[in-house]
Structure 1
């Protein structure tokens, strides 16, 4: 079986309750366009959900030091360390929808070049022939348009973002880390993703698809490795703060096959998050069928799985493919913002996904198609704004 058992975290489980037995912020949530009202609503739901969770722990004799995390917005659930008997007891509880063993996640992408302000390529240098570079990933998606001043945000669920990068408009007060001590990017990946979606249209560096859109760092990957439950914690946080028209980018497909289930912690979270937000997901970089990789495999409305093509619009050799893929965008050799105020050229479906996130933010609806790429007997639609 190609699903790797080494990914599983021993004795650690994600418990998800049925919708009709426990309060969660997202069940029957109205559409919000006012963020302050949304947050007040979520706060009230969360406090009720936490009371119900505490009552459940008490009843089931689960100790507080066994609880690793709680979810109150995407759904009502928790992450817990359990022995075999207790696991069985919870599996037989009629209020529990399903229990999934937690697993490790590792980022998979390729760094081709890193530049600091002193050694930028000529076309990225301020004052040279071009004040700022438009990467072909952006041109192939119909070019850049302004996303500045919009009250909707792009949530970057990733390694964090360089919070004071001069080419990004980061909302630092809502940025959070679930993986380490700070949402400031210690890896570079999340900053690169943020720039593709939303780098500012100014006189430096690069420009994003929805230029100058507010980006929010939701650090679930730390320096590049994490777990399913940590990622769900980030999604839960977004779900308690997002409004209609927000976009979530998740460039975090697993390196190894996970299998795909309709009872999946990711699927249930995505199926709630898409009530307000539109979501872009990386297809993964294993040159394999995306149907074997969660969350890329999940086919849900307003959730778009993105494969990668080259600048010249041929299928990227590393990209996952197959029926779960909704759109294709340029993910090979994309230059964008990077940690430490710098810039870098990276490759991966991680880079294709935020192209679509920028398009979603611009259009507030699905991308429009501008051409297609054929590969392995399938045709993939190129995403444009």
Structure 2
């Protein structure tokens, strides 16, 4: 039986450890004999106090090169396994040999309840051998054809033809083409060597070639809400909490009934808890693009469900209420249960939305890099979706940096809204990205919303600010709410509310 493991985090400054102990039922044993396996920069539960908090991880513990998948558990309560700051002094000195001796590759493992086999990656890691290849219009269109006038399926066929010609011309395997896009991006995802990619960049039919990257959700900042633990629900019975209106919903003008609205909200994220009693989910329209584990739109992470609740949790007697209360939310799953995904998966989601969403629909994309890098293909996908009259809200990012250098937050065209974060005092959130592309500042600190297993959780980030904007866009658009204090120079000071 592998040791039980916890993510332990102290802030400020943020220090991250994975700590394991073979006898998790003994709190004193855990405190006296931690085994530090590795640092990790994703899937974290962070408390604002200078203390440790506890989160029992899924699929993120690497032990001597082997992956130990522990089932997710909510048994680690808010008050459990707390450490005082002075105890950190000796933690970092624990010898690596202890980790190896206590967690060997040959140790028997339990059957995992997780279907997530996404590898452990850092935000921005290149996907080996995987390239996004976009075509010039003339390479795809037949003579006299207007590509924009064609159906999505017709464009897909033309892109397939162009890709076939490209592979034959360069003597590439027919299996090199992995995914075909027709609308959001006019191109394909290919398996190539670096040399092959370099040659394709010189081909006159090719607009650009760029290597695919991994994206990983930033750390969750849990604000100590007792409802952060999963609550029985979603068809599982149990008592639901009485409804409350989160401060952010009140701030932007309160909930608007969108139950009968024809507008749909497409949530491009980690999926949605489709059985959550506080959400109106259309999983039939949803899609899964995560290539590992089961093909499902169900959220195994929590992030997407939280976003969906801020956009449109029902105005009923339980839980919380969203900006566009009761709106239909559609799960477009592009992040695994561990919070990681390839940007090509997001492009596939935007391609599907471009082909199937109606003008006036809204999209929330609270996903992006944690350090400076850009992808032309992702920016193009967002731009092309917005050109169809679909309103796209983007999280500005949590790096406290200029979002001009981050995709897709830097996109600055009609129908695209890059959203930064503020707190309940209408003051700038220090973690938020800033800069010219920011359109509005919305509530992003201590935001309560829906969570896994019919539960509720309070977390922070521009990921939480963006869905406030998405809800506003769904119910009529933005109005000037006032001025945010402490905003970095060159950034709008305006927070938005609905009309």
TM-score category (smaller protein) = 0.7 to 0.9
Deviates more, 1:349-358 or 1:14-23: 14-23
Pair member with larger Rg: 2
Cα deviation 1:155-203 (Å, max 9, x = unaligned): 0000000011110011110111101421100000000000000111111
Residue 336 of structure 1 pairs with residue 456 of structure 2: no
* Residues 159, 187 of structure 2: 8 Å contact kept: no
Cα deviation 1:116-162 (Å, max 9, x = unaligned): 3369xxxxx86x8xx41111111111111011122221100000000
Pairing 1:363-378 to 2, within 5 Å after superposition: 363=476, 365=477, 367-374=478-485, 375-377=487-489, 378=491
Cα pair distance change 1:46/1:292, threshold 3 Å: same
Separation of aligned partners in 2, 1:23 and 1:220: 30
For 1:182, the equivalent position in structure 2 comes to 296
| Aligned pair partner of 2:182 in 46, 67, 72 | 72
Cα pair distance change 1:66/1:345, threshold 3 Å: same
For 1:132, the equivalent position in structure 2 comes to 243
Pairing 1:141-152 to 2, within 5 Å after superposition: 141-152=252-263
Cα pair distance change 1:132/1:5, threshold 3 Å: closer
Per the normalisation by structure 1, the TM-score is: 0.87
Cα pair distance change 1:106/1:5, threshold 3 Å: closer
For 2:316, the equivalent position in structure 1 comes to 202
For 1:306, the equivalent position in structure 2 comes to 419
Pairing 1:85-164 to 2, within 5 Å after superposition: 85-112=195-222, 113=225, 114-117=228-231, 131-164=242-275
SS of match in other structure, 1:326 = strand
Separation of aligned partners in 2, 1:73 and 1:202: 38
For 1:221, the equivalent position in structure 2 comes to 335
| Aligned pair partner of 1:360 in 473, 480, 484 | 473
Separation of aligned partners in 2, 1:178 and 1:288: 29
Deviation at 1:231, TM superposition (A): 1.2
Structure 1 residue ranges (4+ consecutive) displaced by more than 4 angstroms after TM superposition: 23-27
Separation of aligned partners in 1, 2:206 and 2:421: 38
* Residues 272, 302 of structure 2: 8 Å contact kept: yes
Residue 172 of structure 1 pairs with residue 283 of structure 2: yes
Per the normalisation by structure 2, the TM-score is: 0.68
SS of match in other structure, 1:28 = helix
Separation of aligned partners in 2, 1:249 and 1:23: 31
Residue 241 of structure 1 pairs with residue 356 of structure 2: yes
Over aligned residues, Cα RMSD in angstroms?
Answer: 2.4
Deviation at 1:82, TM superposition (A): 1.6
* Residues 19, 75 of structure 1: 8 Å contact kept: no
Deviation at 1:6, TM superposition (A): 6.5
* Residues 286, 297 of structure 2: 8 Å contact kept: yes
Cα pair distance change 1:183/1:67, threshold 3 Å: same
| Aligned pair partner of 1:318 in 422, 431, 439 | 431
For 1:34, the equivalent position in structure 2 comes to none
For 2:148, the equivalent position in structure 1 comes to 28
Cα pair distance change 1:5/1:202, threshold 3 Å: closer
- Of structures 1 and 2, the one with the larger relative CO (CA 8 A, separation 6+) is 1
* Residues 73, 240 of structure 1: 8 Å contact kept: yes
| Aligned pair partner of 2:346 in 216, 225, 231 | 231
Deviates more, 1:268-277 or 1:190-199: 268-277
Deviation at 1:252, TM superposition (A): 0.3
Cα deviation 1:248-285 (Å, max 9, x = unaligned): 10000211221x47xx0112112210022110000001
* Residues 276, 453 of structure 2: 8 Å contact kept: yes
Residue 45 of structure 1 pairs with residue 45 of structure 2: no
* Residues 109, 350 of structure 1: 8 Å contact kept: no
Deviates more, 1:227-236 or 1:301-310: 227-236
Cα deviation 1:36-92 (Å, max 9, x = unaligned): xxxxx4334334433443343333333233223221221221111222332232111
Unaligned segments of structure 2, at least 5 residues? 1-121, 234-238
For 1:58, the equivalent position in structure 2 comes to 168
* Residues 368, 384 of structure 1: 8 Å contact kept: yes
* Residues 26, 75 of structure 1: 8 Å contact kept: no
Cα pair distance change 1:77/1:331, threshold 3 Å: same
| Aligned pair partner of 2:366 in 251, 257, 269 | 251
Cα deviation 1:271-302 (Å, max 9, x = unaligned): 21002211000000111111121111121111
Separation of aligned partners in 2, 1:42 and 1:48: 10
